[in-house]
Structure 1
């Protein structure tokens, strides 16, 4: 399937949305409208999720064709979303939308090729159930700060995972900002005006397409630069990274907060650095919010409780 994400999702909507389809038709396996969607509102919700998923695949997995989606990509996306401690209702909506995507792809390929291709996205429900059972969905305040992040990072099994975690810990960046780095994103060294220490500067593109520089310690910068010179880019997969963090936390017998826990920890440290540099509490919150690629100072305060 070629075309923009908007075009591809529009084509998938055409094969699954049937205005006015009755419920008895949509639950009857022998009826042409079986498993179709009849509500405009529901279809808009599903398509919104599909489009966000499509942009994630394009930016993080270099997948531009919806027909190439497999259960593995569904699992990675679910794990990525769970990392941000979503509400139960949001995660249920996500799972339902990806379930409808599976049906739409089967119907689309049936119409296009005369035979439906095999798509199996049941892993979405498995991850939803695991998140609920392991209390990884939001039900109130939940601090995600690591008490000894360096010990955790030093114990990770993959050297690239350690570098990604250090970038998150010192650069306050999300995983998507640290998982793929090319030579043009490496902006050299400078003195951090807040700590007055030399740092490496890496440009990242994160949630919502927000672009900006993050600071990392010089040793981390040098190691990432060496990998890029040798391999052409620095890249890791989310699933292997998340698994490494989870397994290491289990081995060390500490509570796992995923990769986003490094961002929480970094936000608290950075606010203290601004305050030591003479900034007021409110000024520190706002400055760190901008560094985290947010706008409101209240967003930073969420990380400090």
Structure 2
């Protein structure tokens, strides 16, 4: 019997969050149960089970944004089931689903994944990298984001990304431990949220690189322990400061799209991403 014949296709529901989290934990990723819940409730997560009621062995998520953009991520396969075409099959389901909604599929790919996505028609956009560092204990306790910040943050994010994802930003701001900082003129912001393995900084939107650095420094001053942030390669001054602060480049990514999409070209006001899983 071929491996595919032993598997059952499923669409994940809220009760499947623990199994999805177990897959991302096994891969060493930073996603939380809240992230999985958001993918399941706001998008569609395709999965494969070993038999009708066996364990979840593979996933891929499709998350539509406003403006004709759809995000593809959470492509995970249990190591025992890798190299059997499962990720490719689930990716195809994500692409078909987003196209049925009139959305252009977009994703952030590792160099290894990039080659596979090029073969199915995705095109390269901008390069980015994940940076990792450790900061000392915060001088102040995290504060909840004021409810009034959600509309401002969502509007600024939409201007910088070329698509609307207010539900995502609102969800981030409502999570316990999330901190948000606005620039003095309220024309930029930064979000820091709790991840499974590290604090995740991003998105960060600002008027210029100097303003972005000020927001980043403020966010780091309120953090402690391990920190991740995903920075477009074009921001040389920001990358230089991270190196001086003891951060190291963890891995490279490239933004890719299956068709023209504004989010595939880095905006002059987008300095740190929400993470490869969200863009």
Instruction: Please say whether Structure 1 and Structure 2 have the same fold, judged by a TM-score greater than 0.5.
Output: no
Bigger Rg over Cα = 1
More helix by share: 1
Larger strand proportion of the pair: 2
* TM-score, normalised with respect to structure 2: 0.30
Return the TM-score normalized by structure 1. Answer: 0.28
Higher relative contact order (CA 8 A, sep 6+): 2
